[in-house]
Amino acid sequence: MNRHSARTTAPSGPADPFRERDSCGVGFVARLDGVSTHEIVEDGLRILTNLEHRGAVGGDRGTGDGAGVMLAVPDRFFRERRREDAPELPEPGDYAVGAVFLPPEPARAESCRRELERAAAREGCPVQIGRAHV
């Protein structure tokens, strides 16, 4: 019997309570009505700066190097900027967006891209890779 076997919550979507681990220094801010506000971002940044004991603290003492803030997917932004040759986006809430930083060497980057696609496919998630213009 492992330490997670006493949990009774069943897996829901991609979340599996038996794969979860305890986290030290996690903060969560949200509005129950789902309205996005700048105040939520400010509160999230305040949490990051006040959780100095977590292991992610490093070079950026202002927001905690290695930590981040997750925001809602900017659906309207993506729809307005979708290329004509790109597939239509699913309904809001039916897709996810991720940022992946690949190695600069083309062969290694391609290997990483293929592995990302394989991992997503194992989870039943189709992947469309775009490239940011920075």
- Annotated catalytic residues are 24
Select from 43, 106, 47, 95 the least CA-distant residue to 73. 95
Whole-number CA gyration radius for the chain:
18
How many residues are recorded in the chain?
134
Contact 68, 78 (CB under 8 A): no
